[in-house]
A and B are shown apart, each in its own frame.
Chain A
């Protein structure tokens, strides 16, 4: 390929299909390792905006099983797929047990599938930013579709909106689940609702309740979330689920939402990167720079308040070094 000679060697290896180089670059992103910078910079222009499909929902609703079935379906069509499973790190030890791999099935020699677990760790901007950059890397590495699975609670799920082009919220028929969905803020996230385990009683009711909620009005973009029933024990609805994803991807293109959304997301990403950088630098300088340490001393001694100190710091930053 022309131009690939100018790429850093790690970036060249990733584009060339070297899975070990890809895995190491993802580790660098996770760890906040500066080595990730040159690779991400070099590969950005090679991203094609492939579909990034987010799966979120409470524990035990069958997200992994659905992903297995969809991956098998896409592989049958000859499409390559990367799966990123995001787990929170323990706030106590910083450790974690990443168990999604257990349920992931595929042929051991199939190089058209890549599975990676991610934890929050030390990545700048948190796990959401790391996942976004990882999805981009997988795009540049040539995968046709990227799946991102998150455990159903907290910030990461809402952040899926910033990462995925299509977000699937997976639920099971269960009394009150729909209400919980609203509370958890998952309703605003969903481009597609998947009611899994339709073999359980109450599935039709759950779908109807969701339909009633959807009927309250489409989102600001004009997209009314699709509602699909699936079962993974005797696979049903999987084709319909993928059709719903494709319909949303088409909507993004025809409505102009993809480019509009992309512009907003990139603006937020740039601001986030600057904020992280400035934050890190200031934190370091507050403990090292003598004049900043004196400023901090005064706040500690109650002779200066935090807001005034921040305003002085801000003015310093704006004036530059």
Chain B
């Protein structure tokens, strides 16, 4: 749903699929030369996976690509992820409009 909303806002969305490892995600980001990475995590593993994505991005010198995340992420975790460099986090109540606006802002100013 998010992918479609972003497309309708004129973006090119590389839909990478479900259950990707952090390694696969950063590799896709590099090969596709993306402006922005959106992670959707519902499994509860966000504190393990998202920081790993950030570390790998820095390692391949694409650490300047902004990362945002969505899913069921408790406030305390969200604070820590933002401190680690995640630019925006959306909970289940976020509207598509909010997500699109934020994504546009990050893609413009992030890189």
B33 touches A26 (CB 8 A): yes
Which A residues are in CB contact (< 8 Å) with B21? Answer: 108
User: How far, in whole Å, are A108 and B29 apart by their CA atoms in the complex?
Assistant: 13
User: Total contacts A to B, CB within 8 angstroms?
Assistant: 69
User: How far, in whole Å, are A116 and B30 apart by their CA atoms in the complex?
Assistant: 10
A20 touches B62 (CB 8 A): yes
Main secondary structure of the interface of A (DSSP, over half): mixed
A19 touches B30 (CB 8 A): yes
Q: Smallest CB–CB gap between B109 and chain A, Å?
A: 18
Q: Smallest CB–CB gap between B12 and chain A, Å?
A: 5
The stretch from A92-100, A237-245, A257-265, A286-294 touching chain B is: A92-100
* Closest chain B residue to A95, Cβ basis: B7
Which A19-33 residues have C-beta < 8 A from chain B? 19-20, 23-24, 26-27
In this complex, the interface size class of chain A, counting residues with CB under 8 Å from chain B, is 20 to 34
User: How far, in whole Å, are A96 and B24 apart by their CA atoms in the complex?
Assistant: 21
B7 touches A96 (CB 8 A): yes
B12 touches A96 (CB 8 A): yes
Which A residues are in CB contact (< 8 Å) with B31? Answer: 19, 23, 114-116
Residue A101 CB within 8 A of the other chain? yes
* Closest chain B residue to A120, Cβ basis: B12
Residue A89 CB within 8 A of the other chain? yes
A119 touches B24 (CB 8 A): no
User: How far, in whole Å, are A221 and B58 apart by their CA atoms in the complex?
Assistant: 51
Q: Can you name 13 A-B pairs with beta carbons within 8 Å?
A: A23-B31, A24-B33, A95-B7, A95-B9, A95-B10, A95-B11, A96-B7, A101-B16, A101-B17, A101-B28, A108-B27, A109-B23, A115-B28
A-binding residues in B (CB < 8 A): 3-4, 6-17, 21, 23-24, 27-28, 30-33, 60-62
The 4 residue pairs across chains A and B that have the minimum distance between CB atoms: A102-B17, A95-B7, A23-B33, A108-B23
B-binding residues in A (CB < 8 A): 19-20, 23-24, 26-27, 89-90, 92-99, 101-103, 108-109, 114-117, 119, 121
